[in-house]
Copies of this chain bind each other. A is one copy, B any other.
Amino acid sequence: MRKKAENMKVLFNPASAAVVGASDKPDKLGFHVMKSLISGGFAGRIIPVNPNSDEIMGLKAFPSLADYNEPIDLAILVLPAKLIPGVFRECAARGVKGIVLITAGFKEIDDPGGADLHEEIAGIANDAGIPVIGPNTFGMINFHTNLNASFTPEFSRLMKGSVALVSQSGGISHLLGFLAMRMDVGFSKIIGLGNRLNVDFDQMVDYLMGDPDTRVIMLYMEGVDNPVRLLETAKKHHGKKPIIINKTGSSAKGDQASRSHTGSMAGRHEIYMGSFSQAGMLAVDHTEALLDTARAFASCPLPDGPGVAVLSGQAGPGMAACDVCEARGLKIVQFTEKTQQKINENLPPLALRTNPVDMGPAWYDASAIEKIAKAAMEDDHVDGILFMMVFASANVDALKGIRGLLEDWAQRKPLISCILSPPGVWDEQIKALEQSGSLINYPTPERAANAMANLWEYKKMQTR
């Protein structure tokens, strides 16, 4: 077991990667895996293995793993299931440190032969101490070493970042990846667990807790064979890095699908939800919320308490944010006298000057907005700031005016915004502020407020 744990590091950071079943035919998965490795920019040695080719994508191909004489760290297998036991034995013999087993057709199929094969290869891998990602997976990606060991070269378009995804579903992994490209979320790793031959959620959590590139862990789960192990692992690392979990299978049909799909029990949804929370994991109820929440953790400090200031350029979005805050356990605090006085100096009497603050009347005066925001940020009652600003033609420069303040304050208290303009007006400014870590922006006030509520929920768990 210890050897397997040590080999995990090599699995994600190999010096060489062999693709067994490599192909130069675009209708073969082995083609797409080769493309992923090459176009993803993997700096290590890439070794195509295929008995029918001398060369694949410009690289010398070998008939078998045995025919290659240098060390092989990682083997990515895209072969028919029946050939896998033999290749596993070769991997063990060649001292391979990790396997990505893309091939399907093991435990998840009805044929008992599938389960037998599963047991056979599990035995070989465990004896040799080789961690295996899969079977029945698209693969995995380590963005910090440009290792795209998946059949989806497009994953390499994702930004490098600090969010890791461990997922039981290839479909959801791709969905989250493509959504993340549109939201500019940066990833450390994506791991498609598939049918979890000998690497399950608990082992991935254990590994990622020690991974310096990962700050936030997202889990997408359908069913899990050994929930106790995951819960214990999460508890062991309690408070170290946030774990956000989304589990499908709450419906009878979904549950049934889960059993067939990955060969594991989905179990009772409510029991899972309660256990996750007790183990310090943050459960969210839809896929998009995984990304919304992970983004906030990746770039915000945690709030010290539930006190929120809602500052809005228009009353409506501020009210929408307040509704979510109160429903989710955040408090729209009363400002200290000093803060209130400063705000009053910058807003006319007819404005809504208490929390939520309607900054509308200061709309054309970026310095007034800056002073109001600064006063709220400095207020001891305020643990986090929700900042709403919707574009109007007359305030096109509003965002520029508060840039310095955002840069100055972003890492002191969580500041989460909903700043929105017509496409192309503020988008680049917002992106630049986000990439410099000065801002974390959401398309609606409700999603911004939910992100803040999740930061506080985690903080509460952490101190409990």
Contact = CB atoms under 8 A, between A and B. Distances in A.
Interface of A: 26-27, 29, 32, 35, 105, 108-111, 138, 151-154, 157, 167-175, 177-179, 181-182, 220, 222, 248-254, 257-258, 260-262, 286-288, 310, 312-320, 322-327, 332, 349-350, 352, 355-356, 358, 364, 388, 390-394, 418, 420-423, 425, 443-447
Given A358-B261, A393-B35, A175 B251 contact: no
A240 B144 CA distance: 56
A340 to B, nearest CB: 15
A41 to B, nearest CB: 17
A443 B257 contact: no
Q: Copies per complex?
A: 2
Contacts of A444: 175, 179, 286-288
Given A171-B312, A317-B171, A444-B288, A322 B179 contact: no
Given A253-B332, A253-B355, A326-B254, A394 B287 contact: no
A172 B26 CA distance: 48
A443 B179 contact: yes
Nearest to A332: B253
A439 B401 CA distance: 42
Contact of A169 (B171, B314, B421): B314
B423 A181 contact: yes
Contact of A313 (B151, B171, B222, B322): B171
A319 B264 CA distance: 14
A109 B394 contact: no
A30 to B, nearest CB: 11
A312 B261 CA distance: 13
Contact of A316 (B35, B172, B324): B172
A157 B391 CA distance: 14
Contacts of A111: 350
A287 B178 contact: no
A108 B358 CA distance: 13
A152 B157 CA distance: 36
A253 to B, nearest CB: 4
Across the A-B interface, give the 7 residue pairs with the lowest CB-CB distance, nearest first: A171-B314, A169-B316, A251-B326, A172-B316, A171-B316, A254-B322, A261-B315
Nearest to A172: B316
15 contacts: A27-B364, A111-B350, A169-B315, A172-B320, A174-B314, A175-B420, A178-B420, A222-B315, A222-B316, A251-B322, A252-B326, A253-B332, A257-B358, A286-B444, A286-B446
